[in-house]
Amino acid sequence: MDPQVRAYLDAVAASGIPPLPELTPAEARRNAEVAAPLLAGPPPPLDRVEDRVIAGVPVRVYAPEVGRELPVVAYFHGGGWVFCSLDTHDSVCRRTAATTPCLVVSVDYRMAPEHRFPAAVDDCWAVTSWLGAHARELGGDSERLAVAGDSAGGNLAAVMAIRARDARMPLRHQLLVYPVTDCDLDTESYLANATGYGLTRDGMAWFWDHYVPDPAARRHPDASPLRAGSLAGVAPATVVVCELDPLRDEGVAYAAKLAADGVPVRLIEYQGMIHGFIRMYAVIDRSHQLGAEIAHAWREAFTT
């Protein structure tokens, strides 16, 4: 385990915060909002950051510069479809916009349990399809459009790539950071990393119970994209997984399915890392390494 990860986990344990399954969604949301700025540190400045509504969905637009059309990334935040927000992922989006450079559109999709599956999918698709036709209204280039997300947001990004293929809407790339790709909680990584590393197996069961209470519905490809019949023709992908993450194996399996279906894919495996570290710039140095790898992937995708 990375020593900075160990220090972070020890600090969380010492805080006395109850395990996720013992919290209400409202309590979990408050905890996430309080912790986010402490983990992220100060974000980089940008020329323009604007809250607006696209296709009925609140979004935040990040522009590192003005005066020319930039490639566009639709970003879907993590949080198990239950918590996190535009604010918790503000630093991720700012850094992505600044280092690529690109226009980032962060999507404030509806959350469970108030709005269960497929509400989040519908909101993300409403924004993604709008960007495919209207990105120039924001100063973006609709011909250089990509999707991205972490955890539950990675799940949504993967689903968007499948929907875009089916709608014949070209995407340049999909970035899936430790994504949820399946509802199976009995993989080797789920059992090996069930407790002790932040995200737990019981915590993921809590998320699924709020998002898709019906076990049969969880097997739908819009909830578990690993169960899609074929991924042939979806956008090229970068998939990031962490060694000490219950979701590791389903991320690896999704990358393998992409490759088997003829989709160019790069799998990045972070040893000694835990779920959620993309937002921990102030406490885990390797989050900056991940940010650099993400920026490199975007630059390659948008220049080819």
Catalytic residue among 182, 249, 275, 287: 275
* Residue from 91, 106, 142, 151 carrying the catalytic annotation: 151
To the query of whether residue 245 is one of the catalytic residues in this protein, the response is yes
Closest alpha carbon to 271 in 242, 239, 240? 242
> Angle 96-171-135 (CA atoms, 0-180°, nearest 5)?
70
Q: At what angle do helices 90-99 and 286-303 cross, to 10 degrees?
A: 50
Per DSSP, the three-state class of 5 is helix
What tokens does 101 get? Answer: 């450079």
Given the structure tokens 């932040």, which residue do they identify?
198
Q: Alpha-carbon distance 301 to 124, whole Å?
A: 21
Q: Is 14 exposed, middle or buried (0-12, 13-18, 19+ CB in 10 A)?
A: exposed
CA distance 256 to 169: 24
Catalytic residue among 90, 123, 245, 249: 245
Q: What is the C-alpha radius of gyration for the chain, rounded to an integer number of angstroms?
A: 18
Spatial neighbors of 220 by CB under 8 A, at least 6 apart, are 227
DSSP H or E segment with residue 72: strand 70-76
Residue with structure tokens 């430790």? 178
**Residue positions annotated with a catalytic role:** 151, 245, 275
